């Protein structure tokens, strides 16, 4: 491509000046690439609100702080007009309703599902909110469309700070699929149904890094290696607290391969409620008339290492062999894709030290989602397999990928992996995944005017 053709992509990329700081911090606050002091202040706010050990140390020396955090769950006290918010750190946040400027339950749910910036006072193991600034999920769909039209599918990898490569692209395809909504049948026109994906791959193939980035850019919860209880996932009938599915649009399980007796028992306890929620969007605790019920479609992305199952050909059978629990196959059936990546694909050698900001990453998903249309299969399929086909094929067509139906069905059944997508004519790869000259330019990277104002407000002393 010519220099002019790639100018937009190069201009919107954010450089990472300190590799110790996660790239999603740069993506949330684009201008910190040019201001090291601001970068450090923002990262400190983030650590206080997300790192328990650091927050303990911080509040030993200080009684006030400005923190960047998120609400994991909450419960309300109507008598006192306060919301008790549970955060990634051990200290609960007491949030007066007056600070939220919310007048309806829907507005409060929307507010608490976003990142928040809070001025707090530490007192007797609690954080008392003094001032609240809601985070924003601005979405630059127009910019994303421009970049898509200029460089095509390559922008999906550039957005994550990766140089396009075909094997790398197929590794990330199922991960991106988990950010989209689909259709229940071929006659629907509006996608709203959750698409669940599962991918097991060798270590160091970027799963956790991707999960962290998605958690920062979208309203997803990354649970790491933790398997949540029903109380954490749905809510607590005794306290009336709202769980993850009431606040998030998606949940990411990581390290799903670490199967212990305790994990199996926890899954057995919750599998019926989990499967009902994933399929019907109805999340209810199995016992107790006062148990909270949430009606919401939530996407699930599941990651794990495949050391123990790498030689098992069928990926769905491979996962079943890990857990060996009665009824676990019904859980697996709810996933559109169960991918077992047998080839170790290096991530580090493709890193470019620059990423697209979150507002453009969200714009890419928003733009591509708008293009998704249900498709009619040319082969006879039934039940969930038919639904999986409709959504998977619709996703591929948006990306201008047209594998034969037999390959699509093989992938859905777990008999083939995404990484087996490989054109017979290798010249097609270079045509499809365009390489861009990202030689730095002297002018500063652009950011949305609203983002600039937000950063000024957040980072001022």
The runs of H, that is alpha helices, within 178-229 are 207-217
End-to-end Cα distance, the chain: 44
Q: What superfamily would CATH give domain 35-136?
A: Nucleic acid-binding proteins (2.40.50.140)
DSSP annotation of 228 reads: P
At 280 the three-state DSSP class reads helix
Q: Supply φ then ψ for residue 47, to 5 degrees.
A: -65, -40
| More reliable by pLDDT, 31 or 282 | 282
Q: In the predicted model, is pLDDT for residue 425 greater than 70?
A: no
What does the buried/exposed string (b/e) look like for 208-227 if buried means 16 or more CB atoms within 10 Å of the residue's CB? bbbbbbbbbbbbbbbbeeeb
Helices 207-217 and 358-371 pack at an angle, to 10 degrees, of 90
Average pLDDT of the residues of the chain: 85
Mean pLDDT value across residues 34-55: 89
Taking the CB of residue 453, how many other CB atoms lie within 10 A of it? 10
Cα–Cα distance, 410 to 240 (Å, whole number): 45
| More reliable by pLDDT, 76 or 230 | 76
446 confidence band (pLDDT: 50, 70, 90)? very low
Q: In the predicted model, is pLDDT for residue 306 greater than 80?
A: yes
pLDDT at position 398:
93
**Tokens 């990928």 belong to residue:** 401
- Highest mean pLDDT pick, 241-245, 271-275, 365-369: 365-369
22 confidence band (pLDDT: 50, 70, 90)? low
Cα–Cα distance, 295 to 194 (Å, whole number): 13
Cα–Cα distance, 82 to 347 (Å, whole number): 46
Report percent pLDDT > 90 for the chain: 44
pTM score:
0.85
Task: At 308, list the tokens.
Answer: 């123990």
322 confidence band (pLDDT: 50, 70, 90)? confident
- In the beta sheet, which residues pair with residue 57? none
Q: Which CATH architecture has domain 165-355+372-425?
A: 3-Layer(aba) Sandwich (3.40)
- Highest mean pLDDT pick, 235-239, 396-400, 437-441: 396-400
Give DSSP secondary structure letters for 83-139. EEEE-SSSS-EEEEGGGTT--SHHHHHHHHTS-EEEEEEEETTEEEEEEEEE-----
- Highest mean pLDDT pick, 137-141, 246-250, 262-266: 246-250
Cα–Cα distance, 29 to 46 (Å, whole number): 12
Contact assessment for residue 245 and residue 277, using Cβ atoms and an 8 Å cutoff? yes
Distances (CA, A) of 363 to 143, 229, 371: 7, 33, 13
Give DSSP secondary structure letters for 317-365. HHHHHHH--TTHHHHHHT-SEEEE--S---SGGGB-SEE--HHHHHHHH
pLDDT at position 326:
87
Tell me the domain boundaries of the chain. Answer: 35-136, 165-355+372-425
Q: In the predicted model, is pLDDT for residue 127 greater than 50?
A: yes
pLDDT at position 458:
54
Mean pLDDT value across residues 182-209: 92
């Amino acid at each position: 491509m010519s220099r002019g053709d790639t100018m937009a992509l190069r201009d919107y990329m954010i450089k990472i000046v300190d590799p110790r700081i996660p790239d999603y911090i740069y993506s949330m606050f684009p201008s910190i690439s040019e201001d090291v002091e601001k970068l450090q202040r923002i990262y400190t706010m983030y650590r206080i609100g997300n790192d328990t050990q650091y927050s303990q140390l911080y509040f030993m020396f200080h009684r006030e702080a400005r923190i960047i955090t998120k609400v994991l769950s909450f419960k309300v006290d109507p008598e006192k007009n306060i919301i008790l918010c549970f955060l990634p750190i051990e200290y609960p946040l007491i949030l007066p309703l007056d600070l939220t400027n919310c007048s309806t339950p829907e507005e409060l749910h929307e507010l608490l599902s976003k990142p928040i910036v809070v001025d707090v006072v530490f007192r007797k193991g609690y954080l008392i909110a003094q001032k609240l600034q809601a985070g924003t999920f601005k979405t630059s769909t127009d910019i994303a469309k421009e970049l898509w039209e200029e460089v095509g599918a390559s922008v999906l990898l550039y957005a994550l700070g990766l140089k396009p490569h075909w094997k790398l692209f197929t590794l990330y395809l199922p991960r991106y699929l988990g950010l989209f909504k689909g259709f229940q049948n071929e006659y629907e026109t509006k996608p709203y149904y959750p698409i669940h994906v599962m991918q097991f791959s060798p270590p160091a193939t970027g799963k956790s890094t991707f999960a962290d980035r998605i958690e920062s850019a979208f309203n997803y919860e990354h649970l790491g290696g933790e398997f949540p209880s029903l109380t954490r996932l749905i809510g607590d009938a005794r306290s009336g607290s709202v769980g993850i599915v009431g606040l998030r649009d998606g949940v990411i399980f990581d390290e799903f391969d670490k199967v212990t007796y305790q994990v199996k028992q926890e899954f057995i306890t919750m599998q019926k409620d989990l499967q009902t929620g994933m399929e019907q969007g109805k999340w209810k605790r199995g016992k107790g008339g006062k148990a909270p019920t949430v009606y919401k479609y939530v996407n699930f992305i599941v990651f794990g290492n495949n050391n123990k199952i790498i030689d098992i050909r069928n990926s769905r059978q491979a996962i079943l062999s890990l857990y060996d629990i009665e009824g676990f196959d019904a859980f697996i059936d709810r996933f559109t894709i169960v991918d077992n990546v047998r080839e170790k694909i290096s991530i580090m050698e493709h890193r470019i030290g620059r990423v697209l900001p979150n507002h453009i990453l969200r714009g890419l998903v928003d733009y591509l989602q708008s293009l998704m249309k249900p498709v009619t299969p040319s082969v006879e399929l039934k039940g969930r397999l038919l639904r999986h086909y409709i959504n998977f094929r619709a996703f591929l067509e948006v990306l201008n990928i047209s594998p034969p139906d037999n390959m699509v069905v093989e992938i859905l059944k777990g008999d083939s992996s995404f990484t087996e997508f490989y054109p017979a004519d290798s010249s097609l790869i270079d045509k499809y995944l365009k390489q861009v000259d990202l030689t730095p330019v002297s002018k500063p990277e652009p950011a949305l005017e609203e983002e600039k104002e937000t950063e000024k407000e957040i980072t001022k002393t």
